[in-house]
Each structure stands twice: as C-alpha cells, then as structure tokens.
C-alpha cells in the first residue's frame, strides 16, 4: 500500500518516500545490509525530504520507519574512523539534525528491531513512537569510546528519567519494547508486522485534524522540554567532539570494524 504511490522525493539512494491520499508522507530508511546505519548521505536525504515537506500543504503528518527488521543501528561507524574533533565540529550532519529537529509537522516513528545510537536519537526526534515487540532501544556509543552526539543524553533523560537513561548511556545495554513502553519512550507496542500499519493509521487520524492547530500543538508540547534541553545538548555536542581526540575512540571504532572487543586505556 505504501509503495503504491510514486516516490515523493527523487534521487534518493538510502530512503524510500511515498505520499498517500490522506496527506501522510512515509519515509523508509533503506540500507538493510548496514542495518540502516545513518551515513551522512542518508541523513541528508531525510533532511531534504523534510525540507520539501515543510512547505508542501499536501503533507500533514510524517511516518518514519526502517521497515520490518531494523529501525537504524546508529551513525555509520565506518565514517567515524578518520574523523577528528575539528571534523566533528564542522560536520554537515549537525545541519541535517537541525532540519530534522525543526520539522514543524507531526512525525511518528514506526520502530521494529534495533533502534540504537543515532537511530534512537532519530526516533526521539519524532513526536510519537510506536514499536514492534522486536524493537530494542539503546545508546551503545560508550562501546566505541564516545557518547551520544545528537541530543541523546538529554532527550532520553527527559523521556525515561535519570536512572534508566544513565544505565543505557553508561552500560550500552538495550531496552526492550515492553520496557521502553513502561518507561514512557514509546506510546504503543504491537506485533512487528503491524507497526507500520498502526503508525500510518495514527498519522492519518492526525492528518485529518486542522493542520495549523496540529503544528501549534506540536510546538506547544515541545516547549515543555526543548528549551530546558538546549544547554545540555550544546554541552553534549562539545563533549562528543572532544572524545574524537582520544585514543579510546580510535580503539572503539577499530574494534567494531575488526569485530573484536575494545581494549580501552583511558586516554
Ligand atoms: N555502522 C556501520 N555498519 C554497521 C553498523 C553501524 N552503526 N551497524 C551494523 N553495521 C554493519 C556491520 O558492520 C555488518 O557489516 P558486514 O560485516 O556485513 O559488512 C552488518 O551491518 C551487520 O551487522 P552485524 O553482523 O553486527 O549484525 P547483528 O544483527 O549481529 O548486530 C547490531 C546488529 C546493530 C546489534 C550490531 O551491528 C551493532 O552493535 N551495531 C553498532 C551499533 C552502535 O554502536 N551504534 C552507535 C553508533 S555511534 C553526530 C551525532 C550523532 C552521532 C554521530 C554524529 N553529530 C552531530 C556529528 C551518532 C553516533 C552513533 O550512533
């Protein structure tokens, strides 16, 4: 059903896009071989699509999904190998994240499978999360010798509380779909084959409401937390960049690519 319409955005390699007759735009992350890892091009394609959708009255609600098996396994770790602290500070990814953050229309994440690192941060940029029972949420950046860099430390803490957020960020453990629902990260858990259907049905309901009211409702709800998070997000970003100067980051990224355990030294 989703693919019955022509692509909404031409020229994308990493995402599929489709706008239905109910004003719902579906964006499907489509790099299954790399577990939907968010390489820079992919983030750029999402940002470009949302940019177009912002000024398109035909789009009233967006569903963002990674398909049946995986939402996204985070940033593309192979892109991190040669990146320096200065490279992080100048990274175009920050602009793409800003576009995603500033998207003014309601956006729902339909999450199946792994939703990790930048993938979880992307899901948390959405306004409502619906998860399949097979979903697993986490911020495992610590395993690479780094920390979340797109607001994860702040948004996760706001959504699930300090103790649970600390546990995820410090240990790299994952949260099951049921635990994520109990913690308030997701609004509904369902069978994985129903996740997109449920998210689309909710998106259609939202798209039938008054569009200006929906935009202002989103903006108002975000005011409850976003302003308070801004300082923490700026701090996190600098700390993230600083960690790219450490040997432990090089070791963590090398260990992932060589499929072995990292040996962190503390410098
Ligand atoms: N990047 C690149 N490739 C990945 C990947 C990733 N994040 N995750 C998986 N892959 C690749 C694997 O290398 C493997 O490739 P081949 O060996 O087949 O060539 C293939 O996908 C399948 O992976 P696995 O064999 O590991 O599959 P499993 O089902 O056994 O495990 C897994 C799936 C998702 C649990 C595992 O792959 C995994 O732990 N992946 C890494 C998860 C992770 O550490 N994510 C955090 C990444 S750091 C920024 C803001 C934010 C960020 C960056 C910048 N700025 C504002 C500048 C965000 C940072 C992160 O997200």
Our answer on whether the CB atom of 151 is closer than 6 Å to any ligand 1 atom is no
CA 22 – ligand 1 centroid, Å: 34
Instruction: Name every residue whose Cβ is closer than 8 Å to that of residue 36 and which is 6 or more positions away in sequence.
Output: 29, 30, 66, 67, 70, 71, 72, 73, 119
Specify if 241 maps to a domain: yes
Q: Number of folded domains in the chain?
A: 1
pLDDT 10s per residue in the chain (267 long)? 445 678 999 999 999 999 999 999 999 999 999 999 999 999 999 999 999 999 999 999 999 999 999 999 999 999 999 999 999 999 999 999 999 999 999 999 999 999 999 999 999 999 999 999 999 999 999 999 999 999 999 999 999 999 999 999 999 999 999 999 999 999 999 999 999 999 999 999 999 999 999 999 999 999 998 888 999 999 999 999 999 999 999 999 999 999 999 999 999
CA distance 145 to 138: 15
CATH of the domain at 174: 3.90.226.10
**pTM exceeds 0.85:** yes
Specify if 264 maps to a domain: no
The two tokens of residue 187 are 């609004």
Specify if 267 maps to a domain: no
Pocket test for ligand 1, best of 31, 32, 42, 77 (most atoms within 8 A of CB): 77
β-strand partners of 183: none
CA distance 138 to 167: 10
Specify if 25 maps to a domain: yes
CA 76 – ligand 1 centroid, Å: 6
CA distance 91 to 246: 18
Domain residue limits at 177: 2-257
């Amino acid at each position: 059903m989703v693919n019955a319409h022509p692509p909404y955005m031409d020229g994308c390699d990493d995402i599929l896009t489709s706008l239905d007759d109910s004003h719902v735009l579906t964006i499907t992350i489509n790099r299954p071989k790399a577990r939907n890892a968010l390489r820079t091009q992919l983030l750029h394609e999402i940002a470009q699509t949302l940019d177009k959708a912002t000024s398109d009255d035909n789009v009233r609600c967006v569903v963002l999904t990674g398909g049946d098996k995986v939402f996204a396994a985070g940033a593309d770790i192979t892109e991190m190998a040669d990146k320096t602290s200065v490279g992080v500070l100048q990274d175009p990814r920050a602009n793409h994240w800003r576009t995603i953050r500033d998207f003014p229309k309601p956006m729902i994440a339909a999450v199946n499978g792994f939703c990790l690192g930048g993938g979880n941060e992307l899901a948390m940029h959405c306004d409502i999360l619906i998860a399949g029972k097979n979903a697993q949420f986490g911020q495992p950046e610590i395993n690479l010798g780094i920390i979340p860099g797109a607001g994860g430390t702040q948004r996760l803490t706001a959504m699930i509380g300090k103790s649970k957020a600390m546990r995820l960020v410090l240990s790299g453990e994952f949260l099951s779909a049921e635990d994520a629902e109990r913690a308030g990260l997701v609004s509904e858990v369902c069978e994985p084959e129903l996740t997109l259907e449920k998210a689309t049905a909710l998106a259609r309901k939202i798209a039938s409401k008054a569009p200006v009211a929906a935009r202002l409702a989103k903006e108002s709800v975000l005011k409850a937390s976003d302003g308070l998070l801004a300082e923490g997000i700026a701090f996190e970003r600098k700390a993230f960049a600083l960690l790219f100067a450490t040997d432990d980051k090089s070791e963590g990224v090398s260990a992932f690519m060589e499929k072995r355990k990292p040996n962190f030294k503390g410098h």
